[in-house]
């Protein structure tokens, strides 16, 4: 089987949460070929609740640590693409990373291994089957096209 080409092209757009607060949505573009393989059937959402600033965004210190987490996870899954980080939601006092994975068991092991150099983090995990990538497709509706204001 040919090696999958996983896009590293990202976009970020503001959105409004259910309670009207600002949510920054960051999504990975060009996942159609990955979706078509049918290999990444499970969606895993990892949530970090934090005490944010007056706009309910993370403090500088938390945002730096969140960036370290994101970099460590991207590095891990770039080397072993058992999972793909597809979206990041930040705001309303929480950060959510959304992954699609082939195996929940291997994802969990790789996730933990990738963060061993970082302090213990207050993370919550939720997983479910999403072979049609419905969450990803919904997230992509937040992307603002170039020239669109």
Per domain, the residue ranges of the chain are 22-140
Query: What SS3 state is found at 122?
Result: coil
pLDDT per residue, tens digit, the chain (149 aa), is: 456 789 999 999 999 988 899 999 999 999 999 999 999 999 999 999 999 999 999 999 999 999 999 999 999 999 999 999 999 999 999 999 999 999 999 999 999 999 999 999 999 999 999 999 999 999 999 987 655 55
Q: Which fold has domain 22-140?
A: Alpha-Beta Plaits (3.30.70)
Per-residue exposure over 8-23, b if at least 16 CB sit within 10 Å of its own CB, e if not: eeeeebeeeeeeeeeb
The CB density around residue 99, as the number of other CB atoms within 10 Å, is 22
CA distance 81 to 120: 24
**Cβ-contact 11, 142 below 8 angstroms:** no
């Amino acid at each position: 089987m040919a090696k999958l080409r996983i896009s590293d092209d990202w976009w970020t757009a503001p959105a409004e949460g259910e309670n009207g607060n600002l949510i920054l949505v960051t999504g990975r573009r060009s996942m159609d070929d990955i979706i078509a393989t049918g290999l990444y059937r499970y969606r895993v959402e990892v949530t970090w609740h934090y005490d944010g600033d007056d706009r309910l965004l993370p403090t500088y210190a938390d945002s730096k640590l969140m960036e370290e987490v994101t970099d460590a996870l991207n590095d891990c899954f770039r080397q072993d693409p058992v999972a793909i980080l597809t979206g990041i939601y930040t705001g309303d006092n929480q950060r959510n990373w959304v992954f699609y994975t082939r195996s929940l068991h291997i994802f969990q092991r790789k996730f933990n291994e990738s963060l061993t150099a970082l302090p213990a983090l207050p993370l919550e995990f939720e997983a479910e089957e999403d072979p049609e990538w419905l969450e990803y497709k919904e997230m992509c509706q937040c992307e603002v096209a170039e020239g669109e204001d």
